[in-house]
Chains A and B, each alone.
Chain A
């Protein structure tokens, strides 16, 4: 099992550009989520999905879109990147909701100039 994979590992964007951060898991997990980590602030939940076709907002959803067309993939879209979106982004998955451990991907470091 590859677990949770994220691409790219690093990305530099200019203000106003769009891009998609990819996340995939091969553990047949129903639940997937996106967090961002900023210095001195810990991880904050952006969006999450409890299954294919179902998504919802987390704590800091503004500026990001998600969709979940398959169980395996949960891409995060930045429609018009802003410097405030410079961060490290982590995707996570778990077997289902409830008290199940979340598995995190290695992260994508994004810089917006």
Chain B
């Protein structure tokens, strides 16, 4: 039972355009959501997070949107850069901080020059 789902295994975007990565969840008790970025042969690195009491959080080129009624969140990257090519994981927490996380399957983003 996959509680956090990233239904797009891969996404290809042209450099300079917007990248939109999507994530759906089933457990309405999740109260904190995170995005991690992973390069090959490295561990995931934290990118951005959002609390369930908000619907948007922005950090530079990265914005996360949360739609609680639809149980959906998305990560927008504008403008996309070649260094953004990586696997992006969506993760959720059940109300006890940002440690015991439930991860999605990941989406491989490729930015084309």
- Whether A101 contacts B98 by the Cβ 8 Å rule is yes
The CA-CA distance from A31 to B104 in the complex, in Å, is 22
Summarize A's interface: helix, strand, loop or mixed: strand
Chain B contacts of A24 at CB under 8 A?
A: none
Q: Which residue of B lies closest to A97 (CB)?
A: B97
- Whether A104 contacts B44 by the Cβ 8 Å rule is yes
Chain B contacts of A94 at CB under 8 A?
A: 98-99
Within B26-62, which residues are at the interface with A (CB < 8 Å)?
32, 36, 41-46, 49
Q: Tell me if B73 counts as interface (CB < 8 A to partner A).
A: no
- Whether B43 contacts A90 by the Cβ 8 Å rule is yes
Chain B contacts of A92 at CB under 8 A?
A: 43
Chain A contacts of B97 at CB under 8 A?
A: 97-100
Q: Which residue of B lies closest to A42 (CB)?
A: B103
A-side residues, CB < 8 A to B, are 4, 31, 33, 35, 40-45, 48, 58-59, 90, 92, 94, 97-107
B-side residues, CB < 8 A to A, are 2, 4, 6, 9, 32, 36, 41-46, 49, 89, 91, 96-106
